[in-house]
Amino acid sequence: MSTYRQPGLVLTDHHFTVPLDHTRPDGETIELYGREIVASGKAADRDGLPWLLYLEGGPGFGARRFIGPQAWLGRAVQEFRVLLLDQRGTGRSTPANRQTLPLRGTPREQADYLAHFRADSIVKDCELIRPALTGGAPWTVLGQSFGGFCLTHYLSTAPEGVAMALFTGGLPSLDATADDVYRAAYPRIRRKNEAHYARYPEDVERVRRIVAHLAEHEVTLPGGGLLTVEAFQSLGILLGGGEGTHQLHLLLEGAFVPTPAGPALADAFLENVQAQLSYAGHPLYALLHEPLYAQGPAFGHGATDWAADRIRAEFPEFDAARALAGDGPVLFTGETVHPWLFTTDPALGPLRETAEHLAARTDWAPLYDSARLAANEVPAAAAVYHDDMYVDTAHSLRTARTIRGLRTWVTDEFEHDGVRAGGPRVLDRLLALARGEI
């Protein structure tokens, strides 16, 4: 372990060895990384502090790297010893990406390997490392987005490990298929588009001009990826964050520059687009995003089979060519993964066949236990962001009614990233709700 300091904080690196497959504890192992954080004024008494485990959203993102007591972390270290866990395959844990996955063998073997990277395995990891850190005591778990999906699995399978369960934008449907999820998602994405264009009406013509240009020219991003019309539309993922509509507007402002050959997309614009669209830092997001909803034949689930792409055809308003043929706005998409990503993004191209195997897989294990959730005894609270673009509000509230004792805070003050954008306020409210203080 190594220990170091940031302003107001003492940080300690932890490394853990866990089984790749928890049903084979004596088999192959992988490494996990976690960063322990305590307030500098409490470092001498850290052993007396209760633990808070933070599970990041995703899938496929390492735990957030804070500099000092930012956002919710400043509130957490007032009373907790915090563990920021890099879930398996992410951050400083054993990586899973285009460079490392070929070590597993064929694309099918790579897909079999990645089948161990869902919420069920992540929770088993947490339960394996918890006794080593807490001495066996349960810990408070804060789950953001996909981290909340993991926390729901935690309460379904190992509630004895959780002292308090805190959800932020992360209450999943307990039984919805991937098709159900995206059929509910596209109308929300359309509403976010409508709100953006109402705020920035000048962007209607800007987007139409960019899309028309992309339809007529092959445009390569600085990193070698292709900026197709569909790839450009996927910038709508920004619209799910609190500042996203403003970030998108600023991105669009300087799209074109004059050149001897006529107007062209500016290098600076393409560089900024690449920063938003590249999956180089989080390939598991693309590979495992739809499988995180799969629960196998026991729940009537078949293969996910590129659900977002198939369901999009039911919403023709997202067809850019159709929009250009009229005079209306071109709609952006959102948190959706499509097969063309594995041809346009160099970070994903080598993993195309692996992705196809995952999309065709049907033998997924169930993730949630409604009966056990209905008997829950763990104090729990959830921030449900009204009309959250990433997680359906109706699905979240239905699950909230199933989890015994869960208290909800439904708010439209924040978007999906409220736990970050809201500073200490969101965590403070969740703690008060779970403790019955309000």
Pair 168, 182 in one domain: no
145 noted as active-site residue: yes
Residues 9 and 156 in one domain: yes
Whether residue 59 has a cis bond before it, omega within 30° of 0: yes
Q: Which residue has the tokens 């705020």?
A: 199
Claim to verify: residue 320 and residue 426 sit in the same structural domain:
no
Per-residue pLDDT at 168 exceeds 90: yes
Question: Is 363 marked active-site?
Answer: yes
Phi, psi of 365 (to 5 degrees): -85, 150
What the block records as the tokens of 131 is 């006794």
Buried/exposed 15-51: b ≥16 CB within 10 Å, e otherwise: ebebbebbeeeeeeebebbbbbbbbeebeeeeeebeb
Question: In terms of domains, do 289 and 408 share one?
Answer: no
How large is the average pLDDT for residues 248-262? Answer: 96
Do 195 and 339 lie in one domain? The reply is yes
> Residue 389 sits in a domain of what CATH number?
3.40.50.1820
Report the chain's mean pLDDT, rounded to a whole number: 96
Task: Give me Rg for the CA atoms of the chain.
Answer: 22
94 is in which domain, residue-wise? 3-174+368-434
416 assigned to active site:
yes
Helix-then-strand count for the chain, H and E = 18, 11
| Domain endpoint, select from 312, 327, 360 | 360
The predicted model scores a pTM of: 0.97
- Same domain (yes/no): 249, 351: yes
Nearest to 175 by CA among 159, 155, 152, 158: 152
Instruction: Return the bridge partners of 425, or none.
Output: none
User: pLDDT tens, 287-317?
Assistant: 999 999 999 887 888 999 999 999 999 999 9
| Mean pLDDT for the stretch of residues 339-368 | 97
Q: How many domains does the chain have?
A: 2
pLDDT at 200 over 80: yes
3-state secondary structure of 199: helix
The structure tokens listed for 239 are 């619209």
Extract the tokens encoding 27: 């088999």
Same domain, 61 and 195: no
Among 319, 341, 360, the domain boundary falls at: 360
Task: Name the active-site residue from 153, 338, 416, 417.
Answer: 416
Catalytic residue among 93, 121, 145, 173: 145
Catalytic one of 26, 47, 327, 363: 363
191, 161: one domain: no
- In this structure, the answer to whether residues 190 and 257 fall within a common structural domain is yes
Residue 10 shares a structural domain with residue 61: yes
Distance CA 353, CA 98 (A): 12
> Is the same domain home to 32 and 109?
yes
Please give the structure tokens belonging to residue 223. 């990193």
**311, 332, 360 - which closes a domain:** 360
